[in-house]
Amino acid sequence: MPGSPVVVRAERLNTGYVLREKGKPDPTPARAEMRTASRFYQFKSGHALTGVYLNSTDNRPDDDCWWCNPENNSGTHQTRDHLFNYCYKWKDQQAAMWARVKEATKKEKQKWRVGDLLADERCSPAVLDCLGSTHVGRTAPPVEENWDSEGEAEEAGAEEAADEVEEQAE
């Protein structure tokens, strides 16, 4: 039909979603760097390399977040929700993402569920930049054969300490 509108106006939808004509892919990840885009799609499908997913596929002994301090946060499940909302390691990147999401959608962080965030194209640019500037959903730290290895934990701790020194030097 010539002249028929293709894009549904966002402000007229109570749900807050922008609907796209069937079959048209979200243009933002399609234009993004491939490695970042593939992480984005993995998060959307629930197959991102999170603690919970790796634990469910028997690739990790537990689903704890490997960035959160094990002494203060032991048993912090590394879910998508944790990584986009709560993970201490990425709080600056989360704040930047949520500020953009709010600007684009007029909807507060507290009102979002992660599944909806990842499904809403208006949020894609902010989510992709967040993924690009963090290690969220990239490869997990190695797990040794015997999953209780203390050497592993010590090494990870030393790395964290080095990061902190660098941050303070800036």
* Residues at the contact surface with Zn ion, assessed by CB under 5 A: 65, 67-68, 87
**Smallest gap from residue 90 Cβ to Zn ion (A):** 8
Residue closer to Zn ion, measured from CB, 37 or 52: 52
96: number of Cβ within 10 Å? 15
**Smallest gap from residue 82 Cβ to Zn ion (A):** 6
Residue closer to Zn ion, measured from CB, 26 or 63: 63
Q: Is residue 59 within 8 Å of residue 49, measured between CB atoms?
A: no
**Smallest gap from residue 51 Cβ to Zn ion (A):** 8
What does 87-133 look like in DSSP terms, one character per residue?
A: -GGGHHHHHHHHHHHHHHH---GGG--HHHHHH-GGGHHHHHHHHHT
Residue closer to Zn ion, measured from CB, 101 or 136: 136
